[in-house]
Each structure stands twice: as structure tokens, then as C-alpha cells.
């Protein structure tokens, strides 16, 4: 499936685009994963928001692209999510490949650090990330830090 990609600052997002981003993140991270945590945070206001849309206009994939010095000293990718109705189409890999392209454009030659759910370590390793921490608990879910040069 081919997606149409848009990367925008918080101020460039339309009200509808922001609503759809927050709705998708809430449906997966809060409801599906049964994790009560503050998904909306101050990072949203300074991040780049990368959205992958179907030709119909439905938001199917999303990631938050963060400049160095906000979440970590390194640049970062977070809130990586694929719409549940689009699972099985390998959009997670497509989403991360596009995120890496955008990170290279926005923050060239920067190391990228992520806080990954531990069960996704092999997925991120295939994309060039290496584990850089022991497991830690974040919002009741095992996570690890990973770096990509």
C-alpha cells in the first residue's frame, strides 16, 4: 500500500489533522495497550509530526520526530504507531524507513535515540538500531533505549 507522507510542525497542523493524530495515539497507546499515561505532552509543541495517509485521507501511520536536546541529547523518534485496521500490511517498517529519511533531512548526521518497547528490539535492530540500555519500565511496559548512528 502506498502512503502519502506529510511532515509538519505543531503550528502547521490543521485542527482535524491534530485530532486524528491524537485519536490514533490514544486508541493504541492508552486504550489498546491499557496504559494510562500523559500521551499529550510538551514535546508535541516542538516536534515534527510525520503522518502517512491512505489515498482516502485516512491516517494510517504516524511518528513524532524530535530534534536533539528535547527528549535526549540525541535526535529521537517517538510515538511510532500504525492504525489497527492497517496492521499486517508491514506499514510499521515503511513508517520507520520514512521516519529515518525525514530525520536525515531535518537533522543530518545526527545519532538517533529511541525508547523502544522491549518486545520490538529485533524490529528496530533490522532498521540499524542497537540496544544501549538495560530493560526499564515505562508506564508499566518494558522498554529499552536504542541508538542508530
Distances (CA, A) of 80 to 13, 63, 126: 18, 4, 16
Q: Which residues form the domain of 139?
A: 4-148
How confident is the model over 46-73, as a mean pLDDT?
A: 97
Is 69's pLDDT higher than 90? yes
Q: And the C-alpha cell for 74?
A: 540525541
What is residue 89's predicted lDDT score, i.e. its pLDDT?
Answer: 85
> HSE on the CB side for 97, CA within 13 Å?
7
* Distance of alpha carbon 135 from alpha carbon 118, whole angstroms: 7
* Distance of alpha carbon 65 from alpha carbon 46, whole angstroms: 9
How confident is the model over 96-118, as a mean pLDDT?
A: 97
What is residue 38's predicted lDDT score, i.e. its pLDDT?
Answer: 80
Distances (CA, A) of 15 to 11, 38, 45, 65: 10, 20, 14, 19
Residue 139 pLDDT grade (very low, low, confident, very high; cuts 50, 70, 90): confident
What is residue 53's predicted lDDT score, i.e. its pLDDT?
Answer: 97
What is residue 30's predicted lDDT score, i.e. its pLDDT?
Answer: 84
Is 131's pLDDT higher than 90? yes
Is 5's pLDDT higher than 90? yes
pLDDT in tens, 27-57: 998 888 888 778 889 999 999 999 999 999 9
> At 38, which CATH number?
3.40.630.30
Residue 106 pLDDT grade (very low, low, confident, very high; cuts 50, 70, 90): very high
> HSE on the CB side for 96, CA within 13 Å?
18
DSSP label of 91: H
As for how many domains the chain has, the answer is 1
Amino acid at each position: 500500500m502506498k502512503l502519502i507522507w506529510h511532515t509538519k510542525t505543531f503550528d502547521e497542523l490543521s485542527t482535524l489533522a491534530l485530532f486524528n493524530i491524537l485519536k490514533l495515539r490514544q486508541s493504541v497507546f492508552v486504550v489498546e495497550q491499557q496504559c494510562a499515561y500523559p500521551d499529550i505532552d510538551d514535546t508535541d509543541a516542538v516536534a515534527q509530526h510525520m503522518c502517512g495517509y491512505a489515498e482516502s485521507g485516512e491516517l494510517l501511520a504516524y511518528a513524532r520526530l524530535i530534534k536533539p536536546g528535547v527528549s535526549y541529547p540525541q535526535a529521537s523518534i517517538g510515538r511510532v504507531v500504525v492504525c489497527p485496521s492497517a496492521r499486517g500490511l508491514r506499514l510499521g517498517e515503511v513508517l520507520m524507513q520514512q521516519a529515518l529519511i525525514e530525520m536525515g533531512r531535518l537533522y543530518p548526521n545526527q545519532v538517533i535515540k529511541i525508547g523502544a518497547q522491549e518486545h520490538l528490539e529485533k524490529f528496530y535492530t533490522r532498521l540499524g538500531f542497537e540496544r544501549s540500555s538495560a530493560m526499564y519500565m515505562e508506564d508499566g511496559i518494558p522498554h529499552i533505549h536504542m541508538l542508530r548512528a
